[in-house]
Amino acid sequence: MKNLSDEYVWKALKEGDLNAFSILYKTYYPRLYNYGLKISRKIPLTEDTLQDFFLYVYEHRENLSDLDAIAPYLFASYRRHLIRALKKKSKIVSFDEMDVKIIDIQFNPEEIITHQESETFKNKNITTLLNKLPKRQKEAIYLKYYSGLNTSDIANIMELNYQSAANTIHKAIKNLREEVAILQLLNS
């Protein structure tokens, strides 16, 4: 997909091109799998819902809107698909209640190794700091720094307006900076 634009791949997919679907699947399955696993924490459920999701995309390809960027659409759609599946399993009534009760992304040291910006702190300290963030802030940080999405895309995925998404990311970074400053004081 590096050589092909998102717009081209999406158009080819909508026309039934199996190679385009294969490119889409190979490119986005790992990223969506990691995101889904962060939300559900259940490998079988994540795998099943992701397979169902890609099948749904292919079966309904002709009815899909035209896109310039694929990632934001897939993340937002898969998130809704997974939340519906979790909602069915847990019998939670409202979507908002699902966000509060279910989506609580946790970071692990292996993820931090590849994304660590400061060598001052050990991975477990960064993991601890990230996991202390409120749920929505953790999700926004995950989407921004671990999935490479921009603020506008994050707003769409998390069903927030742009300013709320920007504020959420800003608050998360501010919280992390404050915690890092405290740790630096304690370690000096």
Q: Give per-residue pLDDT as tens, 141-163.
A: 999 988 999 999 999 999 999 99
In this predicted model, what pLDDT tens digit does every residue of 88-127 receive, in sequence order? 887 655 555 545 455 677 776 666 555 444 454 455 677 7
User: Sorting pLDDT into bands at 50, 70 and 90, what band is 30?
Assistant: very high
CATH number of 1-103: 1.10.1740.10
pLDDT at position 106 is 72
Distances (CA, A) of 111 to 62, 115, 144: 37, 7, 14
Please state, in angstroms and rounded to a whole number, the distance separating the CA atoms of residues 19 and 3. Answer: 14
pLDDT at position 122 is 52
Distances (CA, A) of 182 to 111, 125, 176, 177, 186: 23, 12, 10, 9, 6
User: Of all residues in the chain, what percent carry a pLDDT higher than 70?
Assistant: 79
User: CB count, 10 Å around CB of 150?
Assistant: 13
pLDDT at position 82 is 94
The two domains 1-103 and 106-188 share their CATH topology (first three levels equal)? no
pLDDT at position 177 is 85
Q: So where are the chain's domains?
A: 1-103, 106-188
pLDDT average, residue stretch 6-34: 93
Q: Where are the alpha helices (DSSP H) in the chain?
A: 6-14, 18-40, 43-59, 70-90, 95-101, 109-115, 123-132, 135-141, 151-157, 162-187
pLDDT at 46 over 90: yes
Lowest mean pLDDT segment, chosen from 14-18, 55-59, 126-130, 156-160: 126-130
pLDDT at position 120 is 46
CATH number of 106-188: 1.10.10.10
pLDDT at position 96 is 53
pLDDT at position 125 is 72
pLDDT at position 143 is 93
